[in-house]
Every structure is written in structure tokens, then in C-alpha cells.
Amino acid sequence: MNSINQLISDIKKLDFSMFQKDFLLTWEKSDQEILATLYMAQLLKELHGKNISCKVFESGLAVSQFRDNSTRTRFSFTSAANLLGLAVQDLDEGKSQIAHGETVRETSNMISFLADVIGIRDDMYLGAGHTYMQEVGRSLDDGFKEGVLNQRPGVVNLQCDIDHPTQSMSDLLHLKNFFGGDLKNLKGKKIAMTWAYSPSYGKPLSVPQGIIGLMTRFGMNVTLAHPEGYSLIPDTLEVAKKNAKASGGNFTVTGSMDEAFKDADIVYPKSWAPYHVMQQRTQLLQKKDNDGLKDLEKQCLANNAKFKNWECTEEKMKLTKGGKALYMHCLPADISGVSCKEGEVAASVFERYRADTYREAGYKPFIIAAMMLSMRFKNSAEVLEKIIKENKKRLS
């Protein structure tokens, strides 16, 4: 139980206050809050591995709202809720009366009378997902103040147009553990967050934005690479610059995948849609202009196709530090010859790091659980100490 005791002790030293606050963007959280979330996630993972029950809710609902398809985030959310003792109720807009002009404020309150957490994935519209989550949060604040709600549920961003905090935090925990278990070891490490070719279009920008926004806080050298026209939301670049400066790290943008890969300790090659395409797409979606959408897709795929050489091949991997950079991906990856003809990554590269990417994904349920815990309990460290002391077995 050494690592467990160490983790609890580390958590208790941190100064954080996430109770009754939403987790929407990592850069809204202090360094101590990021660390607290990270350590609590690690602790919960170890407790689960040691068959110790982490049930801290006797009852309560975790509401999920997915405005886009999802497997791993859905399962991560359910797993996190279940680990802590919450039941999941999905808000399926297709089976609801929401379409009939009901306000966000009303829906937010109606689903929350006995809810502790609301997880939202809304990454389809640029300028919409984050705004929607904020509106839900404000509605819950009002509902709590007006005595409509017995408690203020917390909102977890399961991916919006700006950030994907449950992903980037899982990635960070993976990096921490891969590089010896200490975040200090990340200082000075080079991570290449690069665009990669994919035969699909319209992939959200939230992963690269989340990565450059978070990794720059730990003194890493973060290089963002993409072909011309594939830039990210400008504000997120500013966040990355500011963070890098504060942490003693570095943030650079380049138009060359090779340059990004050169001497990198970590590579994160992943496709995304160009910012201006997502903006056009948002407008077309709002107008329900299906012909326009088809045209845009055609154009965009044709443009993507110019950059088929943006693939994480064995050759490109040789450019990295000692040829041995850690390959990362949020999954599912477009693997050339496996899930598509030509894609983001060569099959042999992916296969070599396959188990690593699975482990990377495996942190997500616990990251989400840590977020849930910290937003619903005033003193999460105490709560965790209590369950360790009780030592109740998950499987009796």
C-alpha cells in the first residue's frame, strides 16, 4: 500500500477547491487542481486494481448527454459513475421533448433533481459546445439558488469544441507514468502534436487544443505541426504560449511534420479539420444545408488528400529521439491498411505502441471519477482516506 499512502499524502498537501465547480477547460483550473485530479485518478485506479471499493455515493445519478457518437468516452463515463456508486441515465434528445423549443435552462433543471453529475459531449459545432456547457452550468447555479434543486450537480466536459479535458488529463497521467512516475521528468521533453492525414473529415479540434493547452504547463517543449490551413482556434494558441512561458517550457508551431518529429520524445499524430472548414460546417449545419455540407466534405477531403504524406511511418519515427519516441493517440486511430487504406499511422508503428495507447485510454474512467469526486465532495482527500481505511472489497 506504499504508493497508495504516498498518493494520499501528496493529495493532502495540495491546495485545491473544485467543490461545486464544473470541469470545462483545463486552463480554468489551477496547477494544484490539475495535480489533485491527476493524483486522485491514479489513486482510484490503484484502489480498483487492489479490489478496494471506491463507492462513495449510496445513490445518485450521473446524467450523460452525447451529441455525437461515442464508445470509449461513454464507457469511461459509465465506468467512473459506477465506480463511485452513481447510476447513469442518458439524456437522449431523440427520445425527449427537447426538440420542441424547450430552453436549456428548463432541461438542465428537469434532469437534475437527483443528479450529482452531468457529463456532456458536444463537439459538432465550433463556438457552440463550450457555450452550451456554460449555459447548463449557469442554469444549475440558478436552480440551486432558487431552491429548485436540493444540490448543485457538477458538469464534466466530455469533449467540446475547445477542449477535451478528460482526454488530455488521461494523456498526461499516461506520460507521467510512462516517464518514471514523476511529472518533473516531463520537464524539457519534446512532444510533437501534429496533424496527420485521414480519409475522413470534420474531426474536432479539441484534442490538439487540449494537448497544447495542458502539456505546456509542465515545462515541456510542445511543438504543434500542421499543413497550411489546418490551424486551431487562435485563443487556444495564446493559452499554450502563456502556459509555456509560465512553466519554463516552450511552444512552437511549424508547417512540417518532420521538423516536429525531429528529436521528439513523444509524438501525437492525429487528424483534425481546418478551423475555417469547421466554421463553414457549423453554418451549414445550422442552415441544414445538406448539399452545402456534401460539397464542403468533398472539398475538404480533396484538400486532405494533398497531405497524405503526413503519416506517422517507420521512417518518420526514425527522426525522433533515438528513433524511440512514445507514440500517442486518443483512439480510434486511422491505421493504414487496417482501418483504412491510407491513414494517420503505419500499421507497424501502431502495433508496436498498441498496448501503450490502450493503457493511455485506460486512465480516462479514473480521470472522470476524480473529477466527479472533487466536484461533489468538499474534502475529497478525506473521503479517499476513509475508503482506504474501510478497505471494503469490491468483489466480496
CB of 187 to its own copies, least distance (A): 26
Report the residue number, 234 or 355, with the smaller CB distance to its own copies: 355
When the beta carbons of 288 and 393 are compared against its own copies, the nearer one is 393
The interface mask with its own copies, positions 328-347, x = CB under 8 A, is ---xx-xx--xxx-------
- Given a contact cutoff of 8 angstroms between Cβ atoms, the answer to whether 267 and 194 are in contact is yes
By C-beta, is 143 or 213 nearer to its own copies?
143
Residues from 344 through 363 that contact its own copies (CB under 8 A): 355, 358-359, 361-362
* Helices (H), ranges, 94-162: 104-110, 129-145
Contact residue for its own copies among 38, 56, 222, 240 (CB under 8 A): 56
How far is the C-alpha of 248 from the C-alpha of 24, rounded, in Å? 25
Comparison of 31 and 142: residue with beta carbon closer to its own copies: 142
d(CA 217, CA 250): 10
Kindly state the DSSP code that residue 188 receives in the 8-state scheme. T
The helix (run of H) or strand (run of E) holding residue 267 is: strand 266-270
Whichever of 163 and 334 has its CB closer to its own copies, that residue is 334
Smallest distance, Å, CB 72 to its own copies?
Answer: 5
H or E, element range at 366: helix 364-376
**Which run of H or E residues covers position 174?**
helix 165-178
Euclidean distance between CA atoms 93 and 79, whole angstroms: 22
**CA dist., res. 85 & res. 372, Å (int):** 11
- Note whether 49 binds its own copies by CB under 8 A: yes
Work out how close the CB of 151 gets to its own copies at its nearest, in angstroms, rounded to a whole number: 8
Nearer to its own copies, 85 or 229 (CB): 85
Of the ranges 7-15, 102-110, 122-130, 180-188, which one interacts with its own copies (CB under 8 A)?
Answer: 102-110
Write the single-letter amino acid at 257. Answer: M
Q: Indicate whether 102 belongs to the interface with its own copies (CB under 8 A).
A: yes
Residue closer to its own copies by CB (options 27, 377) is 377
Report the phi/psi class of residue 116: left, alpha or beta, with left for phi > 0 and alpha for psi in -120 to 50: alpha
Question: Terminal CA-to-CA distance of the chain, rounded, Å?
Answer: 19
Interface with its own copies (CB under 8 A), residue from 18, 39, 60, 214: 60
Report the alpha-carbon distance of residue 128 to residue 350 in Å, rounded: 33
Looking only at residues 71 through 100 of this chain, which bind its own copies when binding is defined by CB under 8 A?
A: 71-72, 74-76, 78-79, 82-85, 87-89, 91, 95-98, 100
Restricting to residues 371-390, name those near its own copies by CB under 8 A. 376-377, 383, 386-387
Which residues in 19-48 contact its own copies (CB under 8 A)? 45, 48
Q: How far apart are CB 217 and its own copies at their closest, in Å?
A: 26
Residue ranges in 264-293 that form contacts with its own copies under rule CB under 8 A? none
Within 13 Å of residue 26, how many CA atoms lie on the same side as its CB?
37
- Give every CB contact of residue 49 below 8 A, 6+ residues apart in sequence: none
* CA–CA gap between residue 43 and residue 56 (Å, rounded): 14
The residue among 264 and 388 lying less far from its own copies, judged by its C-beta, is 388
Task: Give kind and range of the element (H or E) at residue 89.
Answer: strand 87-90
Phi and psi at residue 338, to the nearest 5° = -115, -70
Binding positions for its own copies, 105-124, rule CB under 8 A: 106-107, 109-111, 113-116
Q: For residue 224, give the H/E element and its range.
A: strand 221-225
Site for its own copies in 176-235 (CB under 8 A): 200
